[in-house]
């Protein structure tokens, strides 16, 4: 057995690379309230793509060591394949989103699609690192490298939540005639008395206070606000049906200080739980803005 492991270094390295690559994809394949896929066939599709990515990453090592550089063109083909995966995710989620009572929004959908493309590249990295160490060094170093690579790739599995950029307080929902407010922030005009009664009975207000000016700009992003509304409505439900445009959760800014007022109409009227869910909502990568990093000279032209 030991002699075979020593003699068949390429075979052992490729096997280890594929195994750890697939294991990395398994650890990154989450199923929760917001993540797609949430059903068995979706998992099968992404696990199958993970096996392909792991195989490509593992086989690339012997090709490089044997100076067979033409075989590396398969990685370019893989990149095109995974871009198609991103398009597939985008199209699928966009079609599903049209039937949601509270849609995800295009920004959230693009973020999810980008995540699934990126995770296949992380699988290639894991398989490549495992196979490289398993071939160049004794085989057990491949196992060590595989474990380290999985730990590294899992650092990218979860991004920041809103708790990292803002504080959340429970706000008071009140009506001044037909005008609806959360604390002192105007939300919308409600003319129908029946709708006003539903809001008085079921509405919850959350006020997000940005921690800095970067967070202020991020919270102002419409895609980030829609993602927040979708997440809270998915977990706590929404007190509306199709054809009721006045009973849609909304998020409005205070233009003076950047606070974000969130009006929720959950089926489960628990303000504290709603606050916690809002704080755990993800910060979308495409919504992040960093104005504090911009090097702007107020007295003249910016230098290069």
pTM of the model: 0.79
* Tens of pLDDT, residues 241-262: 777 777 788 889 988 888 899 9
Cβ pair 18, 123 in contact under 8 A = no
* Tens of pLDDT, residues 180-234: 888 888 888 887 888 888 888 888 899 999 888 888 888 888 888 999 999 888 8
- For residues 207 and 252, what is the distance between their CA atoms, to the nearest angstrom? 10
pLDDT, average across residues 7-15 = 81
Cβ pair 249, 219 in contact under 8 A = no
Q: What DSSP designation does 245 have?
A: G
Q: Under DSSP, is residue 190 helix (H, G, I), strand (E, B) or coil? A: coil
* Tens of pLDDT, residues 229-238: 998 888 888 8
Cβ pair 25, 47 in contact under 8 A = yes
pLDDT, average across residues 286-291 = 72
For residue 124, give the nearest of 28, 30, 11 by alpha carbon.
28
- For residues 145 and 134, what is the distance between their CA atoms, to the nearest angstrom? 8
């Amino acid at each position: 057995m030991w002699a075979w492991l020593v003699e068949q270094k390429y075979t052992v390295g490729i096997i280890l690379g594929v195994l750890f690559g697939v294991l990395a994809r398994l650890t990154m394949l989450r199923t929760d309230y917001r993540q797609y896929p949430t059903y068995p066939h979706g998992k099968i599709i992404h696990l199958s793509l993970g096996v392909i990515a792991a195989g490509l990453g593992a086989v690339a090592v012997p090709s490089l060591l044997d100076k067979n550089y033409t075989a590396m063109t398969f990685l370019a083909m893989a990149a095109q394949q995974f871009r198609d995966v991103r398009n597939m995710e985008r199209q699928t989620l966009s079609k599903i989103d049209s039937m949601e009572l509270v849609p995800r929004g295009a920004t959230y959908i693009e973020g999810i699609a980008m995540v699934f493309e990126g995770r296949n590249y992380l699988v290639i990295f894991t398989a490549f690192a495992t196979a490289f160490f398993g071939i160049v060094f004794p085989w057990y170093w491949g196992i060590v490298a595989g474990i380290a690579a999985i730990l590294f790739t899992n650092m990218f599995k979860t991004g920041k939540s809103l708790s990292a950029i803002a504080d959340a307080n429970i706000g008071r929902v009140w009506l001044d005639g037909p005008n609806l407010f959360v604390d002192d922030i105007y939300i919308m005009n409600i003319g129908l008395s029946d709708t006003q009664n539903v809001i008085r009975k079921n509405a919850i207000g959350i006020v997000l206070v940005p921690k800095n000016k970067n967070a202020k700009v991020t919270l102002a992003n419409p895609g980030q606000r829609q993602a927040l509304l979708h997440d809270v409505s998915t977990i706590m439900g929404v007190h509306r049906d199709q054809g009721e445009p006045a009973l849609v959760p909304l998020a409005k800014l205070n233009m003076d200080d950047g606070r974000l007022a969130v009006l929720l109409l959950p089926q489960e009227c628990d303000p504290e739980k709603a606050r916690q869910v809002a704080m755990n909502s993800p910060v979308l990568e495409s919504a992040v803005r960093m104005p504090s990093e911009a090097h702007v000279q107020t007295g003249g032209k910016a230098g290069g």
